[in-house]
Amino acid sequence: MRYQIKAMVRVVIDTNVFVSALLSADGGARAVLRLALKRDIQPVFGNALFAEYEGLLARSQMWAQCPLNEGERASLFEALLSVSDWVRIHFLWRPNLPDEADNHVLELAVAAGAVGIITANVRDFGRAELLFPSVRILSPGDFLKWRQKR
Tens digits of pLDDT across the chain (150 residues): 565 555 689 999 999 999 999 998 778 999 999 999 999 999 999 999 999 999 999 999 999 999 999 999 999 999 999 999 999 998 777 667 767 788 899 999 999 999 999 999 888 877 777 778 789 999 999 999 999 887
Looking at residue 33, its pLDDT comes to 97
Q: Is 47 contained in some domain?
A: yes
Q: Is 144 contained in some domain?
A: yes
Q: In what order do the strands lie in the sheet with 10-13?
A: 85-86, 42-45, 10-13, 116-118, 136-138
Say which CATH number the domain at 15 has. Answer: 3.40.50.1010
- The whole domain housing 104 covers 10-149
Q: Is 31 contained in some domain?
A: yes
Looking at residue 75, its pLDDT comes to 97
For residues 1-18, one letter each, b for 16 or more C-beta atoms within 10 angstroms of the residue's C-beta and e for the rest, the string is eeeeeeeebbbbbbbebb
Looking at residue 1, its pLDDT comes to 56
Q: Is 3 contained in some domain?
A: no
Looking at residue 2, its pLDDT comes to 61
Looking at residue 125, its pLDDT comes to 79
Q: Is 35 contained in some domain?
A: yes
Domain count, the chain: 1
Q: pTM, whole model, 2 decimals?
A: 0.90
Q: Is 122 contained in some domain?
A: yes
Tell me if 8 sits within 8 A of 108, measured CB to CB. Answer: no
